[in-house]
Structure 1
Amino acid sequence: MPISELGQRFRALPRDQALNVASSAGERSVKATCFQMFPGYEKVANMEDGVTEWGRKGFPGAGRCVIAGQQFGLLRSVVTFRKMLLN
């Protein structure tokens, strides 16, 4: 879901699942992560430094994912992303 639409469409995101939020540089996704935490989304992670830095470091490439009826590029390896967050 484009971050620009998050304000109007966040209720379409599941509250009972972990959500990984990413933007190209990480700045917009920080705002989106905070926005999601406010109304009760507790399992939300932000990708620090964004998708651009993720690719520059050689982490797995983008795949396709559907959320709220839209397709967009998303990281193929959520497990790797979570490990990166924990280290």
Structure 2
Amino acid sequence: MENNTIVKEVCPTSTQELIIRGYMLLDIREPKEVEKLTFNVPKIIHIPLSELEERYMEVPKNEKIIVVCQTGERSLRAVDFLQKLGYTNLLNMKKGLDKWVQKGFPTIGDTSGIQEHVCCRGSHSHC
């Protein structure tokens, strides 16, 4: 039987609030993605998912961390990987940088490649 860990997720709006409360972002996108567009937040580290297996020790275990990527899919895998290594203070940001940009949250770089938010499909959520 597989040991599936539960990954806690937050939306970009909640992420923004948690950053104010001292959370750090772990951006696992590849260097070319980060060079083009990145989050403009006070505490962020970049470790590409392709290097995480070798560099996971750079992720501080004593910090509260939100793992982010472009769409929230790769970061989900990264959280699962880190949890299996004993990390406990991790959250995954749903919908990633794409949704972050659509919400108008601070970035550095070119946002022209991000599609505009079309519809919430009836959701009244603040996310």
- Global fold match (TM > 0.5): yes
Count residues in correspondence.
Answer: 64
Deviations for 1:5-59, whole angstroms, at most 9, x for unmatched residues? 1111101211111121111011000000111111111001111001111111112
**Structure 1 residues 22 and 9, CA gap change in structure 2 (3 angstroms):** same
Shift of residue 60, structure 1, vs aligned partner: 2.6
**Runs (4+) off by over 4 Å:** none
Q: Among the aligned pairs, what percent are the same residue?
A: 38
Tell me the distance in 1 between the aligned counterparts of 2:70 and 2:61: 24
Deviations for 1:54-81, whole angstroms, at most 9, x for unmatched residues? 1111123249xxxxxxxxxxxxxxxxxx
Answer yes or no: is 1:46 the counterpart of 2:126. no
Q: Which has the higher contact order (CA 8 A, sep 6+)?
A: 2
Whose radius of gyration is greater, 1 or 2? 2
Q: 1:26 corresponds to which residue?
A: 72
Tell me the distance in 1 between the aligned counterparts of 2:83 and 2:49: 15
CA RMSD of aligned residues (A): 1.8
**Structure 1 residues 62 and 46, CA gap change in structure 2 (3 angstroms):** farther
- Give, as a single letter, the amino acid of the residue that structure 1 aligns with 2:61: R
Provide the TM-score with structure 1 as the length reference. Answer: 0.66
Where is the helix percentage greater, Structure 1 or Structure 2? 1
